[in-house]
């Protein structure tokens, strides 16, 4: 899931017109486990830290089902 989302981010920032200039495409991926726990990933490229845009960064957030 993360590899596919990272590939989409790199493709969009490299080839799609609206995002090609600013490199500001983001993708959100969500995973819901069998126990109801939810994980959210926000994937993006940071042109300030990586000017050549070879890396895709992500922010991870886990929501635990307490019910």
Angstrom distances, CA of residue 25 to CA of 6, 36, 38, 65: 11, 29, 23, 30
How many structural domains does the chain have?
Answer: 1
Span 19-23, mean pLDDT? 87
pLDDT at 28 (0 to 100): 93
Map tokens 């895709």 to a residue.
Answer: 56
Boundaries of domain holding 26: 2-63
pLDDT at 64 (0 to 100): 67
* 47 or 53, greater pLDDT: 47
């Amino acid at each position: 899931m993360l590899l596919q989302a990272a590939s989409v981010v790199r493709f969009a920032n490299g080839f799609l017109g609206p995002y090609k200039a600013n490199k500001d495409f983001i993708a959100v991926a969500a995973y819901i486990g069998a126990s109801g726990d939810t994980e959210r990933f926000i994937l993006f490229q940071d042109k300030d830290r990586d000017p050549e845009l070879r890396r895709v960064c992500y922010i991870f957030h886990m929501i635990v089902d307490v019910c």
